[in-house]
Structure 1
Amino acid sequence: MEKRLLDAAMEGDIKSLHGLLQEDPLILHRSMVSCVSETPLHVSSMLGHVNFVQELLSLNPELASELDSHGCSALHLAAAKGHVEIVKELVKVDPGTCTVRNEDGKTPLHLAAIKGKVEVARVLVRACPESARAVTERDETALHLCVGNNRLVGLKSLIEEIWKNDDQLLNWKDCDGNTVLHLAVAKKQIEIIKFLLTSRGLDINATNKNGFTALDTLRQSPRDLRDMEIECILKDAGVLSAKDLHIITPDWHPSPTKVPRITKSMVSNVSTERSISGKPLMVHKHTDWLGRKRSALMVVASLIATVAFQSAITPPGGVWQADEHFDKAGNPLKYPLKAGTAVMAYSQKTEYGQFMIFNTLAFLASLSIILLLVSGLPIRRRRWMWLQMVIMWIAITAQVLTYFISLRYMSPESAKGMLHDVTQISVLTWLCLMLVVFIGNVVRMNLWILRKYGYIKEKEQEQEPPPAEVNDDDEDI
């Protein structure tokens, strides 16, 4: 009987259901207490048999609150599958199932958010506004799940519905203290970020448990080509870093009778004046100059290496597609053509040699940068960063020369006169720019050396007594 009932539920056969009820009027009640994990309502709700679901609920409304072996109600299954009409029928009979969590800690609204079932989410929030406040085991709301699964349309719909009842849910934080904006920035979801920044009531400068705002989260995440665009979007909307918000959580409080213990890590990170013996101790503001330079060099070096590699395997003019040993007259060629070899190497040997030299130089220089950055060697000082910058200048210059050689080869004879003039002007301009950059960095390096060895003193050091020396082993001052 139970098997026949499940078969009827799978087919949505109301006539078979009535026939079974005539044979055993208690069959629906027996299905609730049997060892079968899924009731007929679970099966028909999952498969979308609206009429069968309506008939079951009219005969036994208690089926709506039954859970399967995974802790899911029929509403969970209908919501995950996006059966809007069935969801309406189920919440009409038992609205309380909207807040029931399965063994994974998710409510029907959570499943609808994950799957992007927009209309189902609307029905659930309207039927039970409390379901919008239900969270997962990681304290994630349905909004977090929409962002986590890149469901922009579902997010817009949910925010529109939730705003009517709770304008603070948009700033809810998960177990790590992340709001939906933190999560969208971490996942580099540009369209969702733009939408969230236009939403009313969003705290754009909320911080997580690490003290990071959304802007700090971007800077701490792995570098990406979208980072610059996202940073511009955040800054234009007024998003600040925790540093700019002056959020300071001191780890210790100075005593008026005891000099505090100061370590190298404190000296490098503290940017305010501490009072020692009644006189201010001037500590220079720490900047992550080296970290930013390393990230920028890695991105640019990867890009140049990719372009140079592609240029090497697909040179200007392409490659021969088949072997050729004889010309059109049937005479043997002095230099037989081989499939896969560059056309340019046969037609313009000198230009091909120049092209490969500069392209190889750009490729190896950029790979050298990447190797140095990932080598793990102690090359975090400024002098090593300057060396890497010089290598990067070489790679960029070689890439520019490769571009002009390719351009000249691919241009027809009628355009080469004008192209020659344009090339001369462009190369001259580029060399002037490189010279200005080189001179500027030489000046900076000389000033740094002079300051390091005491030939130039900074204003703060001239006006105030020098700070106490910090031992390498973090000894007390």
Structure 2
Amino acid sequence: MNDPLKAASQMGDIDFLYKLIQMEPFLLEHTDLIPFVDTPLHIAAAAGHASFATEIMRLKPSFAWKLNPYGLSPMHLALQNKHYRMVQRFVYIDKDLVRVKGREGLTPLHVVTQAGKTDLIVKFLSACPGSIEDVTVQSETALHIAVRYQQFQALEVLLGWLQRTCHKHAPKQEKRVLNWEDEAGNTILHISVLQGFPQAVRLLIDTKIDLNVKNLEGLTALDIVEMHQTHPYSAEIRDMIVTAGALHGFSLSAAAPCEQELRSKITFNERVAICATRLRRRISNDTRNALLVVAILFATSTYDAALNPPGGVYQSDSSSTASYKRTGLRPASNSHGDRVQENLGKVVMKIQTFFWFWSFNTCSFYLSILMICLLMPRGRISVIVTSPLILFSGCYVFSMLVISPSVKCTIATVALPCMLMLFYCWGTSVYIRLAKKLRNYGNQHEDKSRFSGGNRW
């Protein structure tokens, strides 16, 4: 960079900058061609000239992502020189600058976490929530840095952010970030124990962190704290994690390797779950929505048939009922009247005909309910929808019990939904176990790739 441009950047003189551009229109382009250089934006950020830096960012946005020969971006230099108002202006112009990686992979979020600047941590996370997943070259997240430098308030802010986010993948993100391992296989709990940081350990116990995960040396948090018993807080930390359920590494049952499981024979339960999983994944969203509509129509139609069966049900004699209410005298009983009174609310059709009606209608109803359960998305929303469906099925059972003239049909009406409920619970448990295995097989590399973060260039 030529001396006049450097002088203009150090003074923050916008008028002088444009005079130089008038004399040499490609002045900024020449600087942009150099891979590692102190651009005018770097110099202005270090000097704290916010207006000049904003003008340079408007003219050459790529300067904000460049690193100087020391591996620092303009955002890093502004933080280094404590020009925090300028840092906020950078984030306002381009929120993704929170994820620019400087020397050793440190992002601005890592830098402010190391310094304990909780107000900037909040602003960075609000502007760019994904920055909490960025890692350094040592594979450390911002939480690792907060624990390593014992910035307890910064750790509280980061954990509070993780626990309060409500986007689609928030639960998975929270668990993934909390249990992320650095290059030595240490989670933030391992580091808290190594640092003798009881406040952090107490805070982490109440989260979704895995207390018994092993690092690359095969040590759990309990193993580490017992290896460092000379530390003044070791006894307190040990009592906390033991009470929370921490175990020694040697006492944990070794999980079967994936290769051994894949080489084993497929069980019947796994075949059922695999078929169901493949079927669900072959169905497109449009097809699933159409099938849900059809299943709901079948369920409502069959339920309506239970409320209004063909031929109707036996009704009471309205004139006799009115006379009884008016006079208080019970009508004379006879065999025909007793039979009618006994059949009140029962279907008019013959028992054999009712049996066929009950069979077809009940099978259609419960198949529709099962189809709705299978087509619904998995997760909490499935539980929310399944509960009303169970109550809806109970209403169908009571309706059939009222109109059924046969004891056999009455028993079958109660037994069939119980069998279907057991079948559905069994299928769901098998599906969940298979889904966990699939995540263990395939999601490890996917989770690693989510923590790439980073530079655009």
Hey, which of these two has a bigger chunk of helix by percent? Answer: 2
TM-score by length of 1: 0.46
TM-score by length of 2: 0.48
Task: Flag the structure with more relative contact order, 1 or 2, with Cα contacts below 8 A and sequence separation at least 6.
Answer: 2
